[in-house]
């Protein structure tokens, strides 16, 4: 965590520097945190449950159902990389730093999924995992100094976009066929 504080202090000091300096600082921070994540075994995180109702038209037949997935996870945070230039601007209460990132290996999954399509297949259950081969993460954080000159970082936005080539795997062959 101390490395992150140093990183934020450097960003604050070099806020008006060229993008190449900010890029080097972020690359250093990502590399140092990557080693710590792997050492501590913290390369994945839990994600919230998913509930989705759907309706599909298949020629003359309208089919509705729902998908419920629980005990989700996302990994591998140790593969986080910068893919664009870091930008920094002065905001209302401090500096705002933005960067385009990606996870070299973005995988997510759910230990328990249930797909219900009453007219066709009833209910199917199984595990579900996905590998996203192409994506982009836009991160935006703000840095502000309080009256005691303490730097306070806050993550303002984390957006996943540009998702392409999603490979889905399931433990149940029939579940795979429907997906």
Q: Which CATH number does the domain housing residue 71 bear?
A: 3.15.10
Chain center to CA of 168? 17
What are the C-alpha distances in Å from 154 to residues 94, 98, 142?
11, 12, 5
| Domain region containing 32 | 2-178
Q: Which residues contact 29 (CB under 8 A, 6 or more apart)?
A: 3, 4, 7
What are the C-alpha distances in Å from 60 to residues 37, 55, 63, 121, 141?
52, 13, 10, 18, 49
The pTM of the full predicted model, rounded to 2 decimals, is 0.62
- How confident is the model at residue 2, as a pLDDT? 58
- How confident is the model at residue 8, as a pLDDT? 64
- How confident is the model at residue 174, as a pLDDT? 43
3-class SS shares of the chain: helix, strand, coil, % to 5: 25, 55, 20
- How confident is the model at residue 18, as a pLDDT? 66
162 Rama class: left (phi>0) / alpha (psi -120 to 50) / beta: left
Q: How many domains does the chain have?
A: 1
pLDDT in tens, the chain (179 residues): 556 666 666 665 555 556 777 888 888 888 888 888 888 887 888 889 989 998 888 778 888 889 899 999 988 888 888 888 888 877 776 778 888 888 888 888 999 888 888 866 678 788 888 888 888 888 888 777 777 777 777 778 888 888 888 888 776 654 555 54
Query: Residue 46 and residue 63: Cα distance in Å, rounded?
Result: 32
């Amino acid at each position: 965590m101390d490395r992150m504080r140093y990183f934020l202090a450097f960003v604050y000091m070099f806020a008006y520097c060229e993008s190449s300096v900010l890029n080097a600082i972020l690359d250093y921070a990502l590399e140092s945190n990557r080693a710590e994540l792997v050492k501590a075994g913290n390369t994945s995180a839990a994600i919230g449950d998913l509930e989705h109702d759907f309706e599909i038209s298949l020629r003359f037949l309208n089919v509705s159902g729902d998908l419920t997935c629980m005990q989700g996870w996302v990994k591998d945070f140790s593969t986080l990389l910068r893919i664009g230039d870091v930008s920094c601007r002065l905001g209302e209460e401090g500096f705002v730093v933005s960067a385009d990132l990606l996870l070299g290996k973005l995988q997510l999954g759910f230990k328990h999924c249930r797909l219900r399509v009453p007219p066709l297949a009833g209910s199917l259950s199984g595990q579900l995992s996905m590998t996203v081969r192409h994506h982009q993460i836009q991160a935006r954080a703000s840095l502000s100094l309080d009256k005691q000159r303490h730097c306070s970082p806050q993550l303002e936005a984390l957006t996943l976009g540009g998702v392409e080539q999603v490979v889905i795997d399931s433990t149940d062959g029939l579940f795979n066929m429907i997906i």
